């Protein structure tokens, strides 16, 4: 993963450095600083299935892309953006729309737009050639300036899918399903076309989205002792039977997935010097296990050694 951070520049040059980073990594943009405090912003960038994925943590600012900036980099792109944190907004050919955590919004790079980041924001941005969406849509002209609320059913699916894909890249895992991006784009195209009432539901993509959303939710809630297959199904808005079938299609099971995520988390903590003062039992309970004996048996089955032996081998004592 590539890290582009203003921390690498002298403080008095941080904003100028940020302006250059935005132009080189995305397209030409005109950021305007908000406030006089220290300016710290970061872009974490990775490639997944050939597409550019970025997580942007931006200090308070307002970002413009007007006719002048478009002329300098007239790339035929759209940006799929997932708003994760902070007070944000955007405007493209219409009123300025407020962004809440979980909202997905789409920007057309060859049309003027503004981004409001006055409160400091974190967003995941996916750079997509326009043709990729156009060939899937009946109304491609309506994609620009679209906001898909994170509270909607499709918004939850898309948000979970994008976060899961980002996490795969963070851990250097292959997507496994080579059509993962294709499913994501099909879901976006469907949601835009659905507003005209003539969109066919991409069922395979929806099931892939439900799986991704469930995996993302399990990752976020794995430390909750009450996390069960039924609670996961409720969180992603589907029936338990449907979710079980979707996991089975991928040679997976919900209960096993929850347990494996918890075991992997504890194994990582046991090998972390910063967690040395925590007992094995404390770490197991933090990860969501309710019984130490159950955790120990599951850990030995997964790693072929006891949690204590694993910790000693990784920490040197």
| pLDDT over 70 (residue 245) | yes
283 vs 170, more confident: 283
Residue 245 belongs to some domain of the structure: no
Instruction: Provide the token pair at 254.
Output: 């919900």
Residue 200 belongs to some domain of the structure: no
Average per-residue pLDDT for the chain: 90
Number of separate domains in the chain: 2
266: domain CATH number is 1.10.10
Instruction: Provide the token pair at 162.
Output: 């994008």
**141 plus 272 within the same structural domain:** no
pLDDT tens-digit readout, 183-225 = 899 999 899 888 777 778 888 888 988 998 898 889 888 888 8
Residue 197 belongs to some domain of the structure: no
The strands making up 30-33's β-sheet, listed across from edge to edge, are: 30-33, 61-65, 113-117, 88-91, 97-99
pLDDT tens-digit readout, 108-149 = 999 999 999 988 999 999 999 989 988 888 877 878 889 999
CB 20 within 8 A of CB 14: no
Residue 172 belongs to some domain of the structure: no
Residue 108 belongs to some domain of the structure: yes
The residue-averaged pLDDT of 145-157 equals: 90
Partners of 104 in beta bridges: 82, 148
Last residue of a domain, one of 99, 129, 150: 150
Residue 25 belongs to some domain of the structure: yes
- Residue 241, classed as helix, strand or coil, is helix
Whole-Å CA distances, 145 to 85, 110, 132, 137, 142: 20, 12, 17, 15, 8
Separation of alpha carbons 94 and 227, rounded Å? 42
Stated pTM of the model: 0.80
Separation of alpha carbons 132 and 167, rounded Å? 23
CB 165 within 8 A of CB 171: no
**143 plus 4 within the same structural domain:** yes
Last residue of a domain, one of 112, 134, 150: 150
Q: Identify the domain containing residue 12 by its residue range.
A: 1-150
Last residue of a domain, one of 107, 130, 150: 150
Instruction: Provide the token pair at 136.
Output: 């899937």
Task: Classify residue 304 as exposed, middle or buried by CB count within 10 Å of its CB (0-12, 13-18, 19+).
Answer: exposed
18: domain CATH number is 2.60.120.10
**8 plus 138 within the same structural domain:** yes
**141 plus 5 within the same structural domain:** yes
Residue 221 belongs to some domain of the structure: no
First-residue to last-residue Cα distance in the chain: 32
The residue-averaged pLDDT of 30-39 equals: 90
**145 plus 270 within the same structural domain:** no
Residue 18 belongs to some domain of the structure: yes
pLDDT tens-digit readout, 63-88 = 999 999 999 999 999 999 999 999 89
């Amino acid at each position: 993963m590539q890290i582009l951070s203003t921390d690498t520049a002298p403080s008095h040059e941080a904003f100028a450095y940020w302006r250059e980073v935005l132009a080189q990594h995305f397209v030409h943009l005109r950021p305007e600083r908000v406030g006089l405090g220290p300016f710290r912003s970061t872009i974490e960038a990775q490639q997944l299935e050939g597409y550019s994925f970025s997580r942007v943590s931006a200090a308070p600012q307002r970002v413009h892309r007007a006719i002048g900036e478009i002329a300098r980099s007239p790339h035929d792109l759209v940006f799929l953006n997932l708003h994760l944190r902070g007070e944000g907004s955007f405007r493209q050919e219409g009123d300025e729309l407020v962004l809440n955590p979980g909202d997905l919004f789409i920007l057309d790079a060859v049309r003027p737009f503004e981004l409001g980041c006055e409160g400091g924001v974190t967003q995941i941005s996916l750079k997509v050639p326009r043709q990729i969406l156009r060939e899937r849509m009946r109304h491609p002209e309506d994609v620009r300036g679209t906001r898909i609320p994170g509270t909607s059913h499709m918004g939850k699916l898309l948000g979970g899918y994008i976060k899961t894909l980002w996490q795969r890249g963070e851990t250097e895992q292959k997507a496994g399903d080579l059509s993962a991006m294709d499913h994501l784009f099909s879901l976006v195209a469907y949601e835009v076309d659905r507003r005209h009432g003539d969109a066919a539901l991409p069922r395979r993509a929806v099931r892939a989205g439900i799986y991704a959303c469930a995996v993302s939710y399990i990752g976020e809630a794995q430390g909750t002792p009450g996390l069960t297959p039924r609670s996961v199904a409720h969180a992603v808005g589907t029936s338990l039977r449907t979710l079980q079938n979707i996991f089975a299609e991928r040679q997976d099971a919900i209960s096993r997935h929850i347990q494996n995520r918890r075991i992997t988390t504890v194994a990582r903590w046991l090998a972390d010097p910063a967690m040395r003062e925590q007992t094995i039992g404390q770490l197991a309970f933090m990860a969501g296990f309710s019984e130490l004996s159950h955790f120990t048996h599951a850990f030995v089955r997964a790693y072929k050694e006891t949690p204590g032996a694993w910790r000693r081998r990784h920490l040197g004592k």
